[in-house]
Structure 1
Amino acid sequence: MHYRGLFIGLTTIDIQYFVTEFPESNRKIKTNPPDILVGGPATNAAVAFAYLNNGAHVLTAVGNNSFTSFVEEDLKSNHIDFTDIIEGQNENPVVASVITSANGDRNIFTYNPSEIYSEINIEQLFARIKPQILLLDGFYPEFGLSCAKLARASGIPVVIDCGSWKMQYNELLKYTDVAICSADFFPLECKTHPDVFNYLEAKGVKKIAISRGEQNILFQEKGNRGEVTVENTSVVDTLGAGDFLHGAFCYYFVKNNYFVDALTKAAHTASFSCRFKGTREWLKK
């Protein structure tokens, strides 16, 4: 069955180099030519959803630049429809430099996108797409917040990718049904993961997960806490694994509406993606 997943947030151009080990200071390292990939939290999540579902829809800011057609072709090849919320505007792409070592660890150098102005009519867009689940990554906060409010009013589950703390989460979390957090997500008043659970619960979030790389995923649902096992795997590259967790979760959650089961199956998808280089190779297996 084809489900309608809507993903709103950042699209990046990831330039990924593979090295044996991270260099010391003031050294030049010769490598093979880099992989140039389309990335970004919401976009990669949509890739995983589309892989499982044979389709997804992304709302993102691309604009006019030298990478526009590259982004369009990548999304199309992965069965993703997308709406450019700044279509026709000249906008530089958000570029991320990624250095991946032989054991799969990576360093990323990037920056936040500039503020945008969108003329998209959100009500008309939702009426056309008819989303059954919505994921936001916290970027483009004013636009994302408007979408979250409309989704909440329409009874559409809202999933938030809480990668790192951003001030806009203070408001966005009020309209969130599911928060999937990284191990580094700490609101200003939080120092421990139990603090994070308590903070999100106070915001009204009913379903919460904290992913911790190769460690088990912590979760809370209806006040009950537990762990989802993350399987051991041969790690080649972890780039995008957290995003794929989120996208796969959205697919399994909209399919069966069981929180822990969706987390468990999504964790398997994310672990599988780590066996391959880059963020698209695993899709071919």
Structure 2
Amino acid sequence: MSQALFIGRSVLDVTALVQDFPVPDGKVKALANDVMPGGSALNAAVTFSHLGGRAALATSLGAPNLMRDFLISDLSRRNVTVHDICDDPEYGIPFSTVISTRSLGARMIVNGAGDECEKIHQRNDLISADAQLIQIDQYERHFVAKHFDALQAFEGPIVLDGGSWKEWSPDFLRLADIPIVSEVFCPDGQRTFAAMCAELKISRWAITKGHGGVVWHDQGNEGQIPALSVDVVDTLGAGDIFHGAFCHAYLESGSFVDALSQANRIAGESCTHAGTRSWMDA
């Protein structure tokens, strides 16, 4: 059974699926509502486990409370092992408010007001455990900074889930063997990102472009995978699901391009359902 460690922030998503965004001062009726654990690494870990892998999640949970219990219980049902890396009893799991539209296949996200946990446990044991692959997602940066040397020494591949460009993105990119980033991660375009990867001697990378599919580079070879043509209901978490599916397929097959293709298909299918979980239970 393939095993992977996912490192990243966990949140609680308060979601609403609507037909169209409300106008200012307007109201609309939701087509669906939910409250569920979320976050890039968390959703990827759940996907990895759903596909048959053994997933562990290193994330900040903070003080015991109902929200923490809810998150741990949910992930236990999804067979994801959770490791709390936060050493701050004042830290609380942040809320994220998400409104998704069926008409546009777009969403608005309001992230929680709190900052990341800065008081971090030393957990080199997580990195030196049985994981064959590690995914990082530009969050839990204090944990990543504290364990930078251990991550550099990790013998398996480190996959970067790069959303938007951040001031600390170069540090995460230096750790990555396989960066898979969104097109908004590349503010100066694909050519600049390719040059950055070449400078860091990264030979495998991909850029996800939504309706434009996936552009990939694999040890000098290049190509593009077209987006799956589906009846989009909700795109929430599609990128996270893509990464979890990629990590599982890559460990199973060892083929970079085949793994991207499988991830592209699974992420596309997830968009035909509301939320981040209902595609798994359909």
Aligned to 2:260: 263
3-state SS, counterpart of residue 227 of structure 2:
coil
3-state SS, counterpart of residue 194 of structure 1:
helix
**Equivalent AA in structure 2 for residue 151 of structure 1:** L
Identity of aligned residues (%): 30
Whole-Å Cα distance in 2 between the matches of residues 241 and 7 of structure 1?
17
How much does 1:278 deviate?
Answer: 0.7
Moved more, 261-270 or 215-224: 215-224
Matched, 1:72 2:72: yes
- Residue-by-residue CA offset, 1:38-90 (whole Å, 9 max, x unaligned): 11001101011111124310000111244111101111111100101126723
3-state SS, counterpart of residue 184 of structure 2:
coil
How much does 1:275 deviate?
Answer: 1.0
Whole-Å Cα distance in 2 between the matches of residues 161 and 113 of structure 1?
22
3-state SS, counterpart of residue 44 of structure 1:
helix
Question: Are the aligned partners of 1:148 and 1:176 in contact in 2 as well (CA < 8 Å)?
Answer: no
Matched, 1:49 2:59: no
**Equivalent AA in structure 1 for residue 273 of structure 2:** F
Match 2:222 to one of 222, 225, 246: 225
3-state SS, counterpart of residue 57 of structure 2:
strand
How much does 1:173 deviate?
Answer: 1.5
Question: Are the aligned partners of 1:245 and 1:267 in contact in 2 as well (CA < 8 Å)?
Answer: yes
Moved more, 73-82 or 143-152: 143-152
Q: How has the CA–CA distance of structure 1 residues 231 and 115 changed in structure 2, closer, same or farther, with 3 Å as cutoff?
A: closer
Whole-Å Cα distance in 2 between the matches of residues 280 and 75 of structure 1?
12
Aligned to 1:108: 109
3-state SS, counterpart of residue 108 of structure 1:
strand
Write out the 4+ residue segments of structure 1 that deviate beyond 4 Å after TM superposition.
none
Matched, 1:3 2:7: no
Aligned to 1:34: 33
Matched, 1:139 2:136: no
CA RMSD of aligned residues (A): 1.9
Whole-Å Cα distance in 2 between the matches of residues 196 and 237 of structure 1?
29
User: How do residues 1-285 of structure 1 correspond to structure 2 at under 5 angstroms?
Assistant: 2-31=1-30, 34-64=33-63, 65-86=65-86, 89-103=89-103, 104-111=105-112, 113-127=114-128, 129-147=129-147, 149-186=149-186, 190-285=187-282
Moved more, 6-15 or 61-70: 61-70
Whole-Å Cα distance in 2 between the matches of residues 154 and 102 of structure 1?
42
How much does 1:204 deviate?
Answer: 2.7
How much does 1:121 deviate?
Answer: 3.0
Structure 2 length normalisation: TM-score?
Answer: 0.92
Question: Are the aligned partners of 2:45 and 2:56 in contact in 1 as well (CA < 8 Å)?
Answer: yes
Q: How has the CA–CA distance of structure 1 residues 256 and 113 changed in structure 2, closer, same or farther, with 3 Å as cutoff?
A: farther
Structure 2: unaligned runs, 5 residues or longer: none
Whole-Å Cα distance in 1 between the matches of residues 147 and 264 of structure 2?
27
Whole-Å Cα distance in 1 between the matches of residues 123 and 203 of structure 2?
26
3-state SS, counterpart of residue 156 of structure 1:
coil
Q: How has the CA–CA distance of structure 1 residues 112 and 183 changed in structure 2, closer, same or farther, with 3 Å as cutoff?
A: farther
Whole-Å Cα distance in 2 between the matches of residues 42 and 73 of structure 1?
17
**Equivalent AA in structure 1 for residue 179 of structure 2:** A
Question: Are the aligned partners of 2:94 and 2:112 in contact in 1 as well (CA < 8 Å)?
Answer: yes
Equivalent pairs counted in the alignment come to 280
- Residue-by-residue CA offset, 1:99-131 (whole Å, 9 max, x unaligned): 11123321111147524244533222334x311
Question: Are the aligned partners of 2:88 and 2:119 in contact in 1 as well (CA < 8 Å)?
Answer: no
Question: Are the aligned partners of 1:230 and 1:267 in contact in 2 as well (CA < 8 Å)?
Answer: yes
Question: Are the aligned partners of 1:62 and 1:87 in contact in 2 as well (CA < 8 Å)?
Answer: no
**Equivalent AA in structure 2 for residue 194 of structure 1:** R
